[in-house]
Amino acid sequence: MTADTNKFVIPIGPQHPALKEPANFEFWVDGEIVTGASVRLGYVHRGIEKGAEARTWTQNLYLMERICGICSHVHATAYTLGVEKLAGVEVPPRANAIRQLMAELERIHSHMLWLGVAAHEGGFDTLFMYSWRDRETVMDLLEKISGNKVHYSANLLGGVKFDITPELAAEVHKGLDFLEERNRFYLKVVTTDETFIGRTRDIGTMTTEKAEFLGAIGPTARASGVARDIRVDAPYLTYDQFPVKVMTHTSGDLHGRFIVRIHETFESIRVIREILDHIPQGDLTTRVPRRIPAGEAVSRVEAPRGELLYFIASNGSEKPERVKVRTPSLCNWSTVLSLAIGLKLADMPMLLSGIDPCFSCNDRSIRLKRGQQDPQVWSWEKLRQYGIEYYR
Amino acid sequence: MVQQTLNSSWQNVLTKVTAWARINSPWAIHFNSGSCNGCDIQILATLTPRYDVERFGIKLQGSPRHADVLICTGPVTMQARDALLRTYEQMPEPKFVIAVGSCGLSGGVFHGCYNIVGGINELLPVDVFVPGCPPRPEGIIYGVAVLLEALKAGKRPEPIQWSGGGLDGVLHSGSGLEDHHG
């Protein structure tokens, strides 16, 4: 983290037009070539894990959903899956199918959002405007189903809040037809536009071995040929009834990440259609006790950005004893920092957005053990001083 | 701040021209002080073709030194606090703040978490509050419109009670600031 004083350092952030969320990057450049990179996170650290310990199991549902505004449904799903596992509750299959439906709609929304943002970082604002215009279609569908555009609040402990009526299903089908057609167009743009290919092909190439070594996950790893997807490896919800295919690409560069994400959108569209046609009948909710029996549970789901893991510990009371969240964005930072070296500075925004970073997810405190004198309680001033010293 | 004043009639003309320009093309800067991203994607959505605020002259741009309006989201984390204050201080006078989202109003769902200040008006004088988790893009545009209407009348937004018409919230303001530019 200590910069070489002879190097020219370019700081980016925390407030920067290319970043929609606060984070601080430092790129050490030699002329135009990046020779080193560091990232400083933590601007969005709110203390959610600790806050969860002061809220009841049901209240936490709303807190967990607000860890991230883009993949809010998967956070709530991972949390409910863990709590239901602890409580030993069997959720009705219809509720699980609706959860999967929402998760896949959310994946479409997230990938289209990313396509726009990544194109914007590459200076291709036309694609940004087009993809965000079409993204409103999936936002409308989510709003029609749930009543809200971003935090759908679909999950309850033991079920879901709303049903998919035949009228809604018809609307979703109609919206999906439009989205599929538009995404075919985007695939064509991404694979044939010369300027765009110039910005993406052979930029930030990551081999399969390197992806494994750096611990990359999600579409970032799948673009490097790592066939890893929790939906397939460890099916949850109704992913065993309505399976999805793992989309991989062998190129490993930014271009491959675009292709993988657009293909995943197609796969989501296909599986949503399948769910709508074969949705199981039955109840939407089942009863979950107010006090969750003591124990520990781990739940894993596939967020749009990769594997999301929740560890939940209960001591038998109305509140959780510990909730630990491990989000995908944090795992992918090392790939950015290692791939940045040797690239041009102008490629940095594209490389950063290539992993689809979500700072609000990944800003959780990590405690590093250093030395013998390690007090457990730190004042804000002391912690702040520690942070300044650490990054000096 | 020392202001050079021309003789009064010219000064009047100049004031009118700057007010006209400001109302017809307010430049906004967006700062995320620790929100969950939900409000931020809605703010970004206001720029995209369905809502397209640029047709009203509202432009989101990067530098605080060019901005009239600070559109701020999030419950203000301790880390982001200094960056937020710095961004605000870099903006030229007169400057206005719009707080977007429930977190920006009070800390929202994160109220009580150890690392948040809680609400943007704890730090900055806020002119317009836009409630919602997250507010719809229409709500954000309405918040900007309330600010512009008030500027047209030559003052800061009055506290108002407003409900109905598709927005399910009460938009109110009231920073308690004196009018120092009209």
Whole-number Å distance between alpha carbons of A77 and A93: 14
Average pLDDT value for residue range A184-203: 89
Residue B80 to residue A22, Cβ atoms within 8 A: yes
The H or E element containing residue B97 is strand B96-100
Q: What is the pLDDT of residue A186?
A: 92
Whole-number Å distance between alpha carbons of B169 and A212: 49
Q: What is the pLDDT of residue B157?
A: 65
* Token pair of A361 as six digits: 């997810």
DSSP B4-29: ----HHHHHHHHHHHHHHHHHS-EEE
Whole-number Å distance between alpha carbons of B145 and B166: 15
- Helix axis angle, A72-87 relative to A57-65, nearest 10°? 160
Range in A98-112, A145-159, B64-78, B158-172 the model is least confident about: B158-172
- Which residues 131-160 on chain B approach chain A with CB closer than 8 angstroms? 133-134, 136
pLDDT in tens, B30-49: 888 888 888 888 888 888 88
Q: Does B50 lie at the interface with A, CB-CB under 8 angstroms?
A: yes
Q: Is residue B68 a contact partner of residue B26, using CB atoms and an 8 Å limit?
A: yes
**Cα–Cα distance list, A91 to A64, A157, A161, A286, A364 (Å):** 20, 9, 13, 6, 31
CA-nearest residue to A69 within chain B is B38
pLDDT in tens, A114-161: 999 888 888 888 999 999 999 999 999 999 998 888 888 889 888 899
The H or E element containing residue A349 is helix A348-354
Q: Does B35 lie at the interface with A, CB-CB under 8 angstroms?
A: yes
SS3 B108: helix
Q: Does B54 lie at the interface with A, CB-CB under 8 angstroms?
A: no
Q: What is the DSSP letter of B110?
A: G
Residue A365 burial (CB < 10 Å; 0-12/13-18/19+)? exposed
Q: Which pLDDT band holds residue A188 (cuts at 50, 70, 90)?
A: very high
Q: What is the pLDDT of residue B178?
A: 37
Q: Which pLDDT band holds residue B149 (cuts at 50, 70, 90)?
A: confident
Report whether pLDDT(B160) > 70.
Answer: no
Q: Does A62 lie at the interface with B, CB-CB under 8 angstroms?
A: yes
CA-nearest residue to A363 within chain B is B34
Contacts of A47 in chain B (CB under 8 A): 110, 113-116
Report whether pLDDT(A378) > 70.
Answer: no
- Checking A241-250 for CB contacts under 8 A at 24+ apart, the result is A241/A97, A241/A278, A242/A97, A242/A100, A242/A271, A242/A274, A242/A275, A242/A278, A243/A271, A244/A268, A244/A271, A246/A222, A247/A219, A247/A222, A248/A222, A248/A223, A249/A222, A249/A223, A249/A224, A249/A225, A250/A224, A250/A225
Q: What is the pLDDT of residue B168?
A: 39
Whole-number Å distance between alpha carbons of A200 and A254: 5
pLDDT in tens, A288-312: 888 889 999 999 999 998 888 899 9
Contacts of B136 in chain A (CB under 8 A): 149
For the sheet with A306-314, list strands across it: A295-303, A306-314, A320-326
Report whether pLDDT(A95) > 50.
Answer: yes
pLDDT in tens, A325-377: 888 888 888 888 888 888 888 888 888 888 888 777 766 655 555 555 555 66
Which amino acid belongs to residue A301? V
Report whether pLDDT(A100) > 70.
Answer: yes
Whole-number Å distance between alpha carbons of B137 and B26: 17
Q: Which of A12, A15, A378 is most worth mutating to test chain B (most B CB atoms within 10 A of its CB)?
A: A15
Query: Cα B74 to the chain's mean position, in Å?
Result: 13
Q: Does A20 lie at the interface with B, CB-CB under 8 angstroms?
A: yes
Q: What is the pLDDT of residue B1?
A: 53
| HEC string for A58-71 | HHHHHHHHCCCCCC
Contacts of B72 in chain A (CB under 8 A): none
Whole-number Å distance between alpha carbons of A357 and A19: 10
Whole-number Å distance between alpha carbons of A50 and B113: 7
Q: Which pLDDT band holds residue B174 (cuts at 50, 70, 90)?
A: very low
CB pairs under 8 A between A and B: 125
Domains recognised in chain B with CATH numbers: 22-152 (3.40.50.12280)
Which positions ≥6 away from A298 have C-beta within 8 Å? A82, A309, A310, A311, A312
Residue percentage of chain B with pLDDT more than 70:
80
Smallest Cβ distance to A50: which of B32, B33, B113? B113
Q: Does A113 lie at the interface with B, CB-CB under 8 angstroms?
A: yes
Higher pLDDT, A244 or A19: A244
Average pLDDT value for residue range B154-174: 46
Q: Does B62 lie at the interface with A, CB-CB under 8 angstroms?
A: yes
Q: What is the DSSP letter of B91?
A: S
Q: What is the pLDDT of residue A83?
A: 92
Q: Which of B70, B78, B87, B115 is most worth mutating to test chain A (most A CB atoms within 10 A of its CB)?
A: B115
Residue B34 to residue A44, Cβ atoms within 8 A: yes
Q: Which of B50, B79, B88, B140 is most worth mutating to test chain A (most A CB atoms within 10 A of its CB)?
A: B79
pLDDT in tens, A5-27: 567 888 887 777 666 777 788 88
Q: What is the pLDDT of residue A96?
A: 92
Using the structure block, give the residue that is written with the tokens 């002329």.
Answer: A31
Q: Which pLDDT band holds residue B177 (cuts at 50, 70, 90)?
A: very low
Smallest Cβ distance to B116: which of A16, A21, A46? A46
CA-nearest residue to B88 within chain A is A15
Residue A69 to residue B35, Cβ atoms within 8 A: yes
- Tell me the pLDDT of chain A averaged across its residues: 86
Residue percentage of chain A with pLDDT more than 90:
29
Contacts of B86 in chain A (CB under 8 A): 15
Q: What is the pLDDT of residue A99?
A: 92
Residue A45 to residue B79, Cβ atoms within 8 A: yes
CATH number of A48-329: 1.10.645.10
Q: What is the pLDDT of residue A5?
A: 58
**Number of DSSP helices (H) and strands (E) in chain A, helices first:** 15, 8
Contacts of B101 in chain A (CB under 8 A): none
Contacts of A44 in chain B (CB under 8 A): 32, 34-35, 74, 77, 79-80
Q: Does B85 lie at the interface with A, CB-CB under 8 angstroms?
A: no
Average pLDDT value for residue range B74-102: 87
Residue A51 to residue B112, Cβ atoms within 8 A: yes
Q: What is the pLDDT of residue A266?
A: 93
Q: What is the pLDDT of residue A262?
A: 93
Q: Does A54 lie at the interface with B, CB-CB under 8 angstroms?
A: yes
Per-domain boundaries in chain A: 48-329
Q: Is residue B21 a contact partner of residue B113, using CB atoms and an 8 Å limit?
A: no
DSSP A34-57: EEEEEEE--TT---HHHHHTTS-H
Q: What is the pLDDT of residue A29?
A: 86
Whole-number Å distance between alpha carbons of A130 and A146: 25
